[in-house]
Amino acid sequence: MRQLRRFAYRLRHWLRPPAAAALAPLLACWRAEGNLAQLDWRRAELLVVDAEMSSLQVAAGELLSVGWVVIAGGEIQLHSARHLLLKPEQGVGDSATVHHLRDCELEQGIELESLMQQFLQAAAGRALVFHHAPLDLAFLDRSSRRLYGAPLLLPVIDTLQLEKRRLQRSHAPLVPNSLRLASCRARYNLPDYPAHNALVDALATAELLLAQLAHKGGAIRVGALLG
C-alpha cells in the first residue's frame, strides 16, 4: 500500500510539465523502477548505501561521503562498489573524530550534483538498502529537493527495521544498542568491521541483509521487505 501511495504521489505532483523537465535525472530513476516490488529478491537488484555526514542533524550538517554496492542474483557484486568523497561547503568540524575524514582529504572531493547524478544512475531499477534508513535518507532527500525540487521517493529496505521485527516476533528484548549494525551482524555470526567508513558500512549492511534473508528462507518478494 505504501508503494502505491508513493507512485500516486509521483503522478499527481511531479510527472507533469513543467515540473518533470526540472527533475530529469530523478524522473529517469523513477521510470526504471518497473515491477520491482513484485519480484523475488533473488531476481531483483538492490543498491546497498551508506553515508557519512558532518552532523546527525540534517539542518546543521552535510554529506561528506557516500558508499554503495549492488546485490544481484542474491550475491554481492564487489565490482560495483563505489566510495565517493564530497567537497563540503563547510568544514567537517568535530565530526572528524567519528568518520576520520579531514578537510584536506575532502578538498579534492566531487560536487553534490555529480554525486547525485552517479547515485541516481546506480539506483535506477533497484531498491535502496540502508541500516537505519531515516538518517541517510534525510540527507539524500534534502540533496534531491535542493537539486531537483522533488523528494527521492525511491523504494527502501531498512535492515534495522527487518531485524527489529524479527526480534519482536521472537519476543527478544530490545536492549540499548541491540539494533546497531555491529550488534545485528553479531547475531548472525558475521565478523566485526571498522565502523564509520561509508563503503565498509555499505558492505557490512549488504552482508547483514543476505544473512537476514537466508534466515527467513523461501521466496520473498521485494515488496515484502520495503519499509
pLDDT score recorded for residue 166: 95
Cell of 117: 547524478
What letter does residue 197 receive in the DSSP assignment?
-
Residue 215 CA to residue 209 CA, distance in Å, equals: 10
Confidence of residue 6 (pLDDT cuts 50, 70, 90): low
Q: Does domain 2-225 have CATH number 3.30.70.100?
A: no
Confidence of residue 94 (pLDDT cuts 50, 70, 90): very low
pLDDT higher than threshold 60 for residue 104 = no
Cell of 93: 568540524
Residue range 82-93: average pLDDT? 81
pLDDT score recorded for residue 202: 98
Cell 527502501 belongs to: 156
Strands (E), the chain: 45-53, 63-72, 75-85, 127-130, 156-158
- pLDDT tens digits for 152-194? 989 999 999 999 999 999 988 888 899 999 999 999 999 999 8
pTM, full prediction: 0.89
For residue 17, whether the previous peptide bond is cis, meaning omega lies within 30 degrees of 0, is no
What is the per-residue DSSP string for 41-92? TTTSEEEEEEEEES-SSTTT--EEEEEEEEEETTEEEEEEEEEEEB--SS--
Task: Enumerate the domain spans of the chain.
Answer: 2-225
Cell of 164: 527489529
Residue range 11-29: average pLDDT? 67
Please tell me which residue, 3 or 213, carries the higher pLDDT value.
Answer: 213
Residue 176, helix vs strand vs coil: coil
Confidence of residue 214 (pLDDT cuts 50, 70, 90): very high
- pLDDT tens digits for 35-81? 999 999 999 999 999 999 888 788 888 999 999 999 999 999 999 99
